[in-house]
Structure formats: structure tokens, C-alpha cells
């Protein structure tokens, strides 16, 4: 229990610190948007590229683990889309629940496995990122195009989300690009040149603390007070149902040990703040998404330690 607290508690304490810094105004509010952009464009890609480029996948059931994570997301997505088609319920609200039920907070998802299992956990988590980020982007954009409300940016988004434009948008995502580069360097046997490796390693060290502070800065407890049934559904689906589905697929595919633990933890994370950005751009109930993000992060501070205690 002490080891668990030592590993997981600092992650949420950094999130809390980010919230306090933002609300107290100790740093100008204008700092956080460029800080998150720096993390998204450079720091986190450096972490992913170095982790994947130097990883030893020979002892890992990489394909089966990634398959279990993606299959759980696919089943969850199918259930929610089916719910919308059968009931005809509020389309934008359904897309809000869909996004926040399948899109993981990558920052927390890399921090906790690293804190618990060191470099081995970080490697497996980076592999999960490589499988999940393209998958959830395809699903979420397609759902928003089908069920989202009209918005000033929807025409532009729709054009970018179809055919070559859609492919270009995915391949220009810095997280996807970093995963592809890291995997290519690994599988080719080239690896990172020494100078590039050391440079990226220095950048990567700043990724997780900066990312967690930014997560905390983005919390909005005021918005969380307007929670409703949609919020409760998204919390239960993301923090309970999706990890259970992931565990079931891991067992079905013969994934166990450390890959099993990281896969289940990864799909038990609160949703990413990018859900809000996409909802705002494509008519997907951004206010509801903001509520869900805050409540999920608060509840995950309780559920993730319990989950880790159960599976470790």
C-alpha cells in the first residue's frame, strides 16, 4: 500500500498543484495554453519517440496487448453509436459521452505506469499510445461528423476529416508522428543517434511534470456542479466498464503480467482535454465535455489507486 501511494499519489498531487497555481494566479493565466502546446508538440513526442525507439519488444505480447486495448475501445464505441441509432437521443451529448468514454488522458497514462513499473511500464504505455491515439481520433471525428451540431468550423473540419485530408490530419498529429518514428527506428534496428537520443531524453524529462500541471490547471470545479445523467454515464463507462472490457479481452488473447496491468490501467484513465477542443470545433456539446472531464479526473483519483491495488 505504501509503494502504491508513493507511485500514484504524486501524479494527482501534481495535478492538484497545477489547479492551485492556476486558481491562485501565481503564474499568469496566459502561460497555460502555450505550456500545453509546448508539451503536446515537443515534450510528449520526445518522450514517446525515445521510449519506443529504444524498447525491447521481443519479450512483450505487443500485438495482443495493443489488440486488447483497441478491441475494448471498439466495443465501447459500437455500444454508444448503437444507443444513439436505436434511441435517437441527443446526438451532440452522445458524442460527448463517446469521446470521454474512449479517449485517454495520455499524460496521466504515461505517468502512472512509469511511476509503478519504471522504464518497462513506460515502454508498454507508449505502445498503448501508439495503438490508441489513431484509433480514437478516427472514431471520434467520424462520430462528430455524423451526430454533431452544425458549427462555424464544421465545414472546414468535415473537409479535413474525409479522404486524403483526414489521412493528412492524422499523420500530422505530433503524438502519432512520434510513435511512427519511434517504432520505425526500433523495427529497422537503426535506433536513435547518440546526440539525438540525449537531446530528446532531456526534452522528455520535462514532459510528464509539465503535462500533469497543465491537466490540473484545466480543471473547472464550477462546471462540475452542473453534472447530470450524461456525466454519470461517462464516468461509469470510462472508469469502470472500459477497464473491465480491456481485462476481458486481455484474458481472451492471453495477455497477462505487466502488459495486462498497464493495458487495464491505460483504459481506466480519465479522458483527455483534447476531447473539449474537438467538441468545440465540431459541434459536440463542449460544455458537457468540460463537466465530464473535471468529474472524471476527480473520481479517477480514487478509482485508479483502487484498480492498481487490485491488479498489482
Digitized pLDDT (tens) for each residue of the chain, 312 residues in all: 555 666 677 878 888 898 899 999 999 988 988 888 888 888 888 888 888 887 776 766 778 999 999 999 999 999 999 988 877 777 888 899 999 999 888 888 888 888 888 888 888 888 888 888 888 888 887 888 788 776 544 444 444 445 565 566 566 778 788 888 888 998 888 888 888 889 988 988 888 888 788 878 877 776 556 556 888 999 999 999 999 999 999 999 999 999 999 999 999 999 887 787 677 766 777 778 878 888 888 888 889 888 888 876
CB neighbours (10 Å) of residue 37?
Answer: 11
So what's the pLDDT on residue 226? 58
The answer to whether the predicted template modeling score (pTM) of the entire model surpasses 0.85 is no
Instruction: Check residue 101 and give its pLDDT.
Output: 94
How far CA 186 is from CA of 54, 57, 169, in Å, comes to 6, 9, 24
- The cell numbers describing 82, all together, are 448503437
Predicted local confidence at residue 159, as pLDDT: 43
Predicted local confidence at residue 59, as pLDDT: 65
Cα 300 from chain centroid (whole Å): 13
Q: How far apart are CA 62 and CA 125, in angstroms?
A: 11
- Which pLDDT score is estimated for 154? 45
Asked whether 109 and 264 are in contact (CB, 8 A), the reply is: no
Measured distance CA(132)–CA(124) in Å, rounded: 12
What's residue 3's pLDDT? 57
Q: Which pLDDT does position 229 carry in this prediction?
A: 82
- Measured CA to CA, the distance from residue 11 to residue 304 in angstroms comes to 11
H, E, C per residue of the chain: CHHHHHHHHHHHHHHHHHHHHHHHCCCCHHHHHHHHHHHHHHHHHHHHHHHHHCCCCCCCCHHHHHHHHHHHHHHHHHHHHHHHHHHCCCHHHHHHHHHHHHCECHHHHHHHHHHHHCHHHHHHHHHHHHHHHHHHHHHHHHHHHHHCCCCCCHHHHHHHCCHHHHHHHHHCCHHHHHHHHHHHHHHHCCCCCHHHHHHHHHHHHCHHHHHHHHHHHCCCHHHHCCCCHHHHHHHHHHHHHHHHHHHHHHHHHCCCHHHHHHHHHHCCCCECCHHHHHHHHCCCCHHHHHHHHHHHHHHHHHHHHHHHHHHC
Supply the pLDDT for residue 152.
45
Amino acid at each position: 500500500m505504501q509503494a502504491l501511494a508513493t507511485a500514484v499519489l504524486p501524479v494527482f498531487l501534481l495535478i492538484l498543484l497545477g489547479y492551485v497555481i492556476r486558481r491562485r494566479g501565481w503564474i499568469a493565466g496566459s502561460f497555460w495554453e502555450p505550456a500545453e502546446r509546448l508539451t503536446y508538440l515537443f515534450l510528449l513526442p520526445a518522450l514517446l519517440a525515445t521510449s519506443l525507439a529504444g524498447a525491447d519488444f521481443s519479450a512483450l505480447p505487443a500485438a495482443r496487448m495493443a489488440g486488447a486495448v483497441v478491441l475494448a475501445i471498439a466495443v465501447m464505441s459500437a455500444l454508444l453509436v448503437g444507443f444513439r441509432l436505436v434511441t435517437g437521443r441527443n446526438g451532440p451529448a452522445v458524442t460527448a459521452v463517446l469521446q470521454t468514454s474512449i479517449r485517454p488522458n495520455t499524460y496521466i497514462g504515461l505517468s502512472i505506469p512509469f511511476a509503478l513499473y519504471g522504464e518497462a511500464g513506460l515502454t508498454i504505455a507508449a505502445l498503448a499510445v501508439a495503438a490508441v491515439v489513431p484509433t480514437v481520433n478516427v472514431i471520434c471525428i467520424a462520430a462528430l461528423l455524423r451526430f454533431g451540431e452544425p458549427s462555424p468550423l464544421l465545414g472546414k473540419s468535415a473537409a479535413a476529416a474525409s479522404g486524403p485530408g483526414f489521412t493528412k490530419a492524422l499523420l500530422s498529429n505530433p503524438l502519432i508522428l512520434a510513435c511512427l518514428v519511434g517504432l520505425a527506428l526500433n523495427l529497422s534496428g537503426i535506433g536513435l543517434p547518440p546526440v539525438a537520443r540525449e537531446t530528446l531524453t532531456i526534452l522528455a524529462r520535462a514532459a510528464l511534470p509539465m503535462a500533469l500541471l497543465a491537466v490540473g490547471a484545466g480543471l473547472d470545479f464550477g462546471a462540475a456542479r452542473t453534472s447530470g445523467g450524461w456525466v454519470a454515464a461517462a464516468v461509469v463507462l470510462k472508469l469502470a466498464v472500459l477497464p473491465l472490457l480491456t481485462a476481458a479481452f486481455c484474458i481472451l488473447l492471453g495477455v497477462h503480467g505487466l502488459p495486462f496491468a498497464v493495458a487495464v490501467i491505460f483504459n481506466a484513465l480519465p479522458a483527455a482535454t483534447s476531447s473539449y477542443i474537438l467538441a468545440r470545433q465540431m459541434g459536440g456539446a463542449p460544455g458537457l465535455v468540460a463537466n465530464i472531464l473535471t468529474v472524471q479526473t476527480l473520481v479517477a483519483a480514487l478509482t485508479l489507486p483502487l484498480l492498481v491495488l487490485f491488479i498489482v
